[in-house]
Structure 1
Amino acid sequence: MLPALLSALVLTGAPQTPPPASAPAAARQDPVQLEEVVVEARRLEEATRQFVEQIGSPPPGTRPGRWNGPICMSVTGMRADVAQFMIDRVAIAALDAGVDVEGPGCRPNVIILATSDGPGLANEMVERVGLGFRPAVSSTNLGRDALNHFRTADVPVRWWHVTVPVEPQSGQVAIAFRGQEAPTLTVRDASRLRSNVRYDIGWAIIIVDFSMTEGEPLGAVADYVAMATLTQLDPFADMRGLDTILNLFERGSDVTSLTSWDKDYLTALYSSRADRATEAQQINDMVTRMNQVRREEPETPADD
């Protein structure tokens, strides 16, 4: 079923688009004993946890998914040189995170489409290949509200991930797609810390509306696409206040590439254990790993 759905998605065409001022001196007064004022910066762990929890959004009842096999990209609707630039940029981010990337001739599981009418193309795709977006009722996608957002939102980049629960040892799919019989799985050593399934991103669909990206560097747009490809994102999340490429299209943002927070997040996602029993356990693992990475990063020297 999977190859047929992806083949249909690939064939869905897209149109071509080419220092503060000093305070005045106060009148001389006798010294006054002030109460102690403690200014405490937010702890690294709190900032990291907020980033992890705000960025990611797995399907309800699941855990953060990731690519546990290589990705293969198909780019449609761009000039050949622009498409290759996009592929190369996403590939670099993937390899840095620990994701393998297949070369030419592979079977695509990442579909990147360029257009000048994002909602129009999104609606057309959903109508043509509905099961490619919701191949099962649960566990694989973010549901109807998210799909409606994918179809109608006025955004420069929209994305859709399909997640597949699999048995970690064999890679066998652990659910039945619509029209299929439920699979039989052998339960091994499940515990309160370990699950019998992991969640693999099966395929991702990214639509870039170039009529809304004018003025942004192509490299920045490609990095945005890379982030949307490599992790499950919450389409409704307010990312303002976070240091992330996902604020690229926010007014006043000066981000132009994947930030250190983005890269550390991806590193933590792809180095954390994928067989945790609960979403909270896996998030805790990601936060711990991300903090370790950030503590090892060189600090900016303080002024004397």
Structure 2
Amino acid sequence: MSLHALAVLSLLAGSPQQALPQQPPAAQAQEPATDLGEVTIEGRRLAGMARDFVGEIAAPAQRRGLARWRGDICVGVANLESERAQYVADRISTVAEDLGLSPGQPGCRANILVVFADDGQALAAALVDHNRRAFHLGVSGLDRGGEALERFAASIRPVRWWQVSLPVDRDTRERAVRLPGDLSPPVTTVRGVSRLNSQVVDELNKTIVIVDVDLVAGADIVQLADYVAMVSLAQVDPDADTTGFDTVLNVFSDPGSAPGLTPWDWSYLHALYGSERMRQNPGSIAGEVADGLARSRRSSDEAE
């Protein structure tokens, strides 16, 4: 196994630590009638597309809710020329900061690791083969499972990613799941009973992204950095079919489709990083995505 792959593994092996506008009052008889049918149809169509978009891209760990980062993130970029590596790290950190997160200081231990490789599939396979436990801890509900890990290691993709999340106490951020090696199970104190908010929530713990430099040649560094930001900060299904949506996730199939993160992407991220209730109810995320898109369209219309 290469020294490069071993170095990557050393960073992975640590313990997991407004509603849509309503119709205006009917016009007076002497004024020209206003046909509002298209507004209603567009609103319903947008809401349906938002549900489809969320349903297509969201990929939580097995039998768990959608996870997100909380608090600090630390981005590391390996095997890329320093100026471009800094741009990728800064862009991910900037997007994270916009979502309320705190980028780590220089020298922090990376929990988002982006590795550029001449052969992404070979590197992924070597990493998984050398230390599978760094990716799959053997506890259900922390990742997407063994079959997904095999696809991560074996598939041919411009960019591949793997994430580990942890159920934690919402207030204390203590682990709420027993991991291999624990002498006793963690204890979570229930401080209130609610059907809308759970005491236990899911937090992203680490993400590794492997970029195959030969397969991303059609995208520029701006598009690539935004793509990596999207899949680093949210649990995105690598097999999602996003051809019907305006998203940076289409950048490798159609490089001209998106200059970077689109209003769809931003609306999804802001919904994900909204209330805890949003993450436990994908339908709420879809509704907030639709509202965000409607606000974006109104802002664009006003600017014009």
| TM-score bracket for the superposition, by shorter chain length | 0.7 to 0.9
Q: Does 1:160 align with 2:162?
A: yes
Moved more, 202-211 or 178-187: 178-187
Amino acid at match of 1:87: A
Q: Please provide the CA RMSD for this pair.
A: 2.5
2:266 aligned residue: 263
1:55: which partner in 2?
Answer: 57
Q: TM-score, normalised by structure 2?
A: 0.82
Once the 2 structures are TM-superposed, how far is the Cα of residue 6 of structure 1 from its aligned partner? 10
- Indicate whether 1:174 and 2:176 are aligned: yes
Q: How far apart are 1:136 and its partner, in Å? A: 3.7
* Deviation for aligned residue 1:275: 5.2
- Give the Cα separation in 1 of the matches to 2:124 and 2:255: 28
> Are the counterparts in 2 of residues 6 and 108 from structure 1 also a CA contact under 8 Å?
no
Alignment length, in residue pairs?
270
Residues in 2 aligned to 1:6 and 1:288: alpha-carbon distance in whole angstroms:
42
Corresponding residue to 2:131 among 126, 129, 137: 129
Give the alignment's TM-score, normalised by structure 1. Answer: 0.82
What is the CA-CA distance between 1:284 and the residue it aligns to? 2.6
- What is the identity, as a one-letter code, of the residue corresponding to 1:265? Y
Deviation, structure 1 residue 191: 2.6
* 2:284 partner SS: helix
What is the CA–CA distance in structure 2 between the aligned matches of 1:57 and 1:168, rounded to whole Å? 21
Query: What is residue 100 of structure 1 aligned with on the other side?
Result: 102
Structure with bigger helix share is: 2
2:169, 2:199 within 8 Å by CA — same for their partners in 1? yes
CA distance in 2, matches of 1:228, 1:175: 25
Q: 1:7 to 1:183 in 2, by over 3 A?
A: farther
Equivalent in the alignment of 1:218: 221
Give 2:83's aligned residue.
Answer: 81
Q: Cα gap change, 1:177/1:6 in structure 2, threshold over 3 Å: closer, same or farther?
A: farther
Contact 2:51 2:287 in 1 (8 A): no
Partner Cα distance (1:189, 1:127) in 2 = 44
Structure 2 runs not aligned, ≥5 long: 1-5, 14-36
Compared CA separation, residues 78 and 7, structure 1 to 2 (3 A): closer
- Where does residue 45 of structure 2 map in the other structure? 43
Alignment counterpart, residue 247 of structure 1, candidates 239, 247, 250: 250
Gap regions ≥5 residues in structure 1: 13-37
Q: Secondary structure at the match of 1:106?
A: coil
Once the two structures are TM-superposed, the CA of residue 251 in structure 1 deviates from its matched residue by 4.3
Given that residues 9 and 127 in structure 2 are in contact (C-alpha distance below 8 angstroms), is that contact kept between their aligned partners in structure 1?
Answer: no
Residue 160 of structure 1 aligns to a residue whose secondary structure is strand
8 A contact 1:9–1:129 mirrored in 2: no
Percent identical across equivalent pairs?
Answer: 34
The CA distance in 1 between the partners of 2:277 and 2:294, in whole Å, is 26
- Does structure 1 retain, via aligned residues, the 8 Å contact 2:218–2:252? no
Separation of aligned partners in 1, 2:49 and 2:228: 24
CA contact under 8 A between 1:58 and 1:232: conserved in structure 2?
Answer: yes
CA distance in 2, matches of 1:266, 1:199: 16
Rate the CA distance shift 1:209–1:158 in 2: closer, same or farther, 3 A: same
Deviation at 1:103, TM superposition (A): 1.9
Shift of 1:173: 0.2
Secondary structure of 1:131's counterpart equals helix
Q: CA deviation at 1:253?
A: 4.7
Task: Kindly name which structure, 1 or 2, has the bigger radius of gyration based on alpha carbons.
Answer: 1
1:68 pairs with 2:67: no
- Partners in 2 of 1:263 and 1:159 — Cα distance? 20
